[in-house]
Amino acid sequence: MKLFSCLMALLLFLLQAVPGLSLPRDTLHCLGYHGYCFHSKSCPEPFVAFGTCSHRQKTCCIDTTSNFHTCQDEGGHCVPPAIDCLEEQEGLCAHRKWKCCAEV
């Protein structure tokens, strides 16, 4: 029983000590794109919705005045890495490994 208590204490310590380890996956995804988590379902200006946070209970919003524009805002299409682009362009895709293409 003492071993179990020590392991649980170590686990709780690690969850508090390592930043990002205890955050939900959708929140980490949002923060990876320099987004912000808002309680409301709509984003205030100049932000646009880019997904969810906190297990789909908050809205992930990104700043449209920064260099982090979504692919669709730039007129592109998000495609998986297996597809070759004729012309790549700048823009964020909801899936981190996908790329933004002007022409597929």
**Cα gap 13→90, rounded to integer Å:** 40
**Cα gap 17→59, rounded to integer Å:** 26
Handedness of CA 66, 71, 76, 81 (dihedral sign): positive
Q: Is the peptide bond before 46 cis (omega within 30 degrees of 0)?
A: yes
Structural domains of the chain ordered from first start: 23-66 (3.10.360), 69-103 (2.20.20)
**What tens digit of pLDDT does each residue of 60-97 get?**
988 777 666 678 777 888 888 888 888 888 777 777 67
pLDDT of residue 6: 45
Q: Which two tokens stand for residue 92?
A: 């964020």
What do you get for the CA distance between the two ends of the chain, in Å? 59
